[in-house]
Amino acid sequence: MRPLFYLLLSLLIATGCEAPPEQELPHVPPGVGKPEWIADAVLYEIFVPDFSPEGTFQGVIRRLDSLQALGVNTLWLMPIHPVGKKRAKTDIGPLGSPYAVRDYYAVNPDYGTEEDFRALVDSVHARGMHIIIDLVANHTAWDHPWVTEHPDWYTPGPIDGFTYPVLNGDTTDWTDVVDLNYDNPELRQAMIEVMQYWVREFDIDGIGATWPTACRWTSGKRRSIRWKRSNRC
């Protein structure tokens, strides 16, 4: 049996979400916290289409041994989800930006199938390594189903009722994405369910996220890094 850590709320490695020093974090129940392997993690970040000639999950599998020989023990995959087509930033490349996510519950078909991704996770674990994935939690693509199904989950603005993300008080030029509003508790719960899905269904070891707006609702007294440990055959 292999220990499996279920991510419930927050981050694996939270460079952008640390609580201010004057704020006290809540009590963490026994058995919940950071897994020990994080302390010795040697991360290698991978953009799947550029990492191998194939540009696929299978291409990553074929290079795992060489990564391990370098001392890498943790893979951090840049976004693996389908990229939005509506208002895509094709000026940066024909695929658009991987940070314009169209579906949080699917893998980019250009990278392979769900079974290919599962094979990658299994191959990583077979070598005693770990794997985490980027979660773009601050915004979605314009053709994400939430835009029409849950418009109240987004920040209101002048662009068809929505807005691009705002950074340091100024609207960004990220015209291919629409800003999510984490003041909405239904959105917060929906994003938690997204995180749980990838850990539960694909056995990944964690979620990587660093965008401050998406992390703000877990800051201070409302924030804790929660991993629920269980065993699975």
Distances (CA, A) of 192 to 63, 72, 173: 32, 28, 28
Question: Which tokens in the block code for residue 112?
Answer: 């392979």
At 212, the pLDDT band (50, 70, 90 cuts) reads: low
DSSP states of 41-55: --EEEE-HHHHSSS-
Q: Which residue has the higher pLDDT, 35 or 70?
A: 70
Rg, Å, the chain Cα set? 18
Arithmetic mean of pLDDT, 221-227: 32
Query: Using one digit for the tens of pLDDT, what is the confidence trace for 134-174?
Result: 999 999 999 999 999 999 999 999 999 999 887 766 777 88
CA 193, distance to chain mean position in Å, is 12
Distance CA 24, CA 20 (A): 8
Angle at 46 between CA 42 and CA 47, to 5 degrees: 165
Query: Using one digit for the tens of pLDDT, what is the confidence trace for 88-130?
Result: 988 877 778 999 999 999 999 999 999 999 999 999 999 999 9
Q: Are the CB atoms for 112 and 55 separated by under 8 Å?
A: no
Question: Which tokens in the block code for residue 104?
Answer: 């949080």
With a cut of 50, say whether residue 25 has pLDDT above it: no
Mean pLDDT of the chain, nearest integer: 80
For the entire predicted model, the pTM comes to 0.79
